[in-house]
């Protein structure tokens, strides 16, 4: 349930990771894992006299995102210099977009609908802008205790799309749902891979109604946004309870200690002294380009969820969950096609696979399971080679090792026991070892389940449950008849 007095707005920073090069130079976008400060040039290092050249594809990706979020794409936009002095931006300004008389940022307005339980909630978008990513600062331990800071410019100049929302969210959970949905949309458009470390980061503004607004910076993922905001709500409530004032400031989310810490009192916008970037001409975005991109837009998550319901007959809620992440939707759809039916695939993906991923704190792209190995396991269940129960036992290993279900089952000797003679001998053993339970079962139907449980236990879950059920019940019936006969 959302708290009615909480007001949250987000600024999501999404790297356009599908681009080959950075926003204003020819350096590769694929900077991850490279030796620090090796993926740089005079432009992204900000050497005097170097000239930035906007990446056309980045503009197209921003327009596509605008279309997906039903924003108004500006006909004319311009880059501005946002001036600030900090080591993560060596030229002392960031090239960004700005709204002033005559120009707007690349997209304005729009919205994104999130599903909060069974309800749809609309989160309005204020604007979107393209800007360059600053360098990455590497701290030794927590930011406020680090003896020194290392700077890596490999990331500097990456194309960032900043998406600013209206303060329409009223709980940390809604903030998480917003970012998750945004991620799925960007992945479906194909401009972004949310699985890459640091590809989606955000700043959050939060206030308890009637009190001061606080900004939390550098939240690294949608998982962290919920934790950071929950912490900040308790902190602010604590301050208010003591009848003290919440200070207007910028705070940093410390992922290790799970606390927010004060960084600085909030700058006002005019502190940045925005002025037009003199080295880049204003961008004129032709209607023709917008229309062309509009025609080439791929299927988006909401439309895909509707199609899943319609085509595969799965409940609307399940379809929303499955399309919440592109990788998950693709996984489900591939499995369904391989298996030839959707119900088994959706049940196992929704219930068991998501459960295992959650337990292991993994995302699907980090897991080793593939549609082929997953469907291989489902086929073994359908063919009666293993029971569903064994499927649940081996699934975590499929997820972490990527091995075939058949190999795991053979190795662990987990094939289903459907050999009636063999089962009968196990049933006989259990009856011989549990005289009292057998007497109870003869008198009372409810006590039969204990014996069934013992047989399953003895076969380590491998016995076909239906065969065990009938074998045990049959034997009890025979004992009853015998008792009646002798009475």
Residues that bind Zn ion (CB under 5 A): 25, 27, 41, 43-44
For the CB of residue 320, give the shortest distance to Zn ion in the complex, in Å.
40
Q: How far is the CB of 49 from Zn ion (least distance, A)?
A: 14
Nearest residue to 201 via CA among 181, 184, 183: 183
In three-state secondary structure terms, 199 is: coil
**Residues 191-200: b if buried by 16+ CB within 10 A, e if exposed:** bbbbbeebbb
CB of 39 to Zn ion, least distance (A): 8
In the complex, the smallest distance separating the C-beta of residue 280 from Zn ion, rounded to whole angstroms, is 15
Give DSSP secondary structure letters for 119-170. Answer: EEEEEEEEEEEEEE--PEEEESSSTTT-S-EEEETTSTT-EEEEEEE-S-B-
- Tokens 């389940």 found at: 449
Nearer to Zn ion, 39 or 180 (CB): 39
- Contact at 8 Å (CB) between 123 and 112? yes
The least CB distance from residue 13 to Zn ion, in Å, is 19
CA distance 63 to 61: 5
Q: How far is the CB of 40 from Zn ion (least distance, A)?
A: 6
Radius of gyration of the chain (CA): 29
- Closest separation between CB of residue 158 and Zn ion, Å? 10
Query: Which lies closer to Zn ion via its Cβ, residue 27 or residue 204?
Result: 27
Taking residue 480's Cβ as centre, other Cβ atoms within 10 Å add up to 13
CA 109 to CA 432: how far, in whole Å?
75
Nearer to Zn ion, 25 or 73 (CB): 25
Neighbour-count burial for 283-292, b at 16+ CB within 10 Å, e otherwise = bebeeeebee
43 vs 378, which CB is nearer to Zn ion?
A: 43
CA 96, 100, 103, 105 torsion-angle sign: positive
Select 96 or 171, whichever has its Cβ closest to Zn ion.
Answer: 96
The first and second tokens of residue 373, run together, are: 């190995």
Q: Of the candidates 421, 428, 432, 426, which has an alpha carbon nearest to the alpha carbon of residue 458?
A: 426
CB of 151 to Zn ion, least distance (A): 15
Cβ distance to Zn ion smaller for residue 27 or 367: 27
Q: At what angle do helices 435-443 and 420-433 cross, to 10 degrees?
A: 100
Residue 397 Cβ vs Zn ion, minimum distance, rounded to whole Å: 44
Taking the least distance from each CB to Zn ion, the nearer of 35 and 265 is 35
> Between residues 52 and 371, which has the closer beta carbon with respect to Zn ion?
52
- Cα dist from 397 to 103, 336, 400, 460, whole Å: 55, 21, 5, 17
Is the CB of 64 or the CB of 160 nearer to Zn ion? Answer: 160
What's 182's DSSP letter? Answer: H
């Amino acid at each position: 349930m959302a708290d009615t007095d909480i007001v949250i707005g987000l600024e999501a920073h999404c790297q356009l990771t599908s681009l080959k090069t950075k926003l204003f130079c020819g350096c590769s976008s694929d900077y991850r894992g490279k030796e620090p400060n090796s993926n740089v040039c005079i432009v992204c290092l900000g050497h005097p006299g170097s000239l930035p050249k906007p990446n056309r594809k980045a503009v197209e990706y921003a327009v596509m995102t605008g279309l997906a979020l039903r924003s108004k794409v500006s006909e004319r936009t311009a880059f501005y210099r946002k001036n600030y002095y900090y080591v993560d931006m060596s030229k002392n300004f960031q090239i960004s977009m700005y709204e002033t008389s005559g120009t707007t940022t690349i997209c304005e307005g729009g919205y994104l609908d999130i599903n909060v339980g069974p309800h749809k909630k609309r989160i309005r978008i204020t604007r979107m802008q393209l800007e360059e990513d600053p360098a990455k600062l590497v701290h030794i331990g927590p930011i406020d205790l680090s003896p020194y800071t290392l700077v890596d410019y490999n990331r500097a100049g990456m194309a960032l799309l900043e998406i600013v929302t209206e303060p329409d969210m009223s709980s940390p959970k809604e903030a998480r749902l917003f970012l998750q949905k945004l991620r799925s949309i960007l992945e479906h458009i194909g401009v972004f891979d949310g699985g890459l470390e640091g590809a989606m980061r955000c700043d959050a503004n939060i206030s308890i109604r009637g009190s001061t607004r606080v900004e939390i910076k550098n939240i690294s993922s949608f998982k962290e946004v919920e934790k950071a905001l929950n912490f900040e709500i308790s902190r602010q409530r604590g301050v208010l309870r003591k009848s003290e004032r919440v200070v207007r400031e910028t705070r940093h989310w410390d992922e290790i200690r799970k606390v927010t810490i004060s960084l600085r009192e909030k700058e006002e916008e005019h502190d940045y002294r925005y002025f037009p970037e003199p080295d880049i001409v204003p961008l004129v975005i032709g209607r023709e380009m917008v229309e062309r991109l509009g025609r080439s837009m791929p299927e988006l998550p909401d439309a895909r969820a509707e199609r899943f319901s319609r085509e595969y007959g799965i409940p609307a809620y399940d379809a929303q969950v499955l399309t919440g992440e592109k990788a998950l939707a693709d996984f489900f759809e591939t499995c369904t096609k391989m298996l030839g039916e959707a119900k088994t695939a959706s049940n196992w993906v929704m219930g068991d696979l998501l459960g295992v991923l959650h337990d292991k704190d993994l995302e699907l792209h980090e897991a080793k399971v593939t549609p082929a190995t997953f469907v291989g396991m489902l086929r073994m269940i359908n063919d009666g080679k293993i029971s569903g129960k064994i499927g649940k036992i081996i699934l975590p290993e499929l997820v972490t090792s990527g091995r075939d279900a058949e190999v795991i089952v053979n190795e662990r000797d987990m094939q289903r026991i459907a050999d009636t003679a063999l089962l009968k001998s196990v049933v006989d053993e259990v009856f011989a070892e549990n005289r009292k339970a057998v007497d109870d079962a003869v008198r009372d139907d409810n006590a039969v389940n204990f014996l069934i449980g013992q047989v399953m236990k003895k076969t380590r879950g491998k016995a076909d449950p239906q065969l065990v059920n009938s074998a045990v019940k049959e034997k009890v019936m025979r004992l009853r008849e015998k008792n009646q006969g002798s009475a």
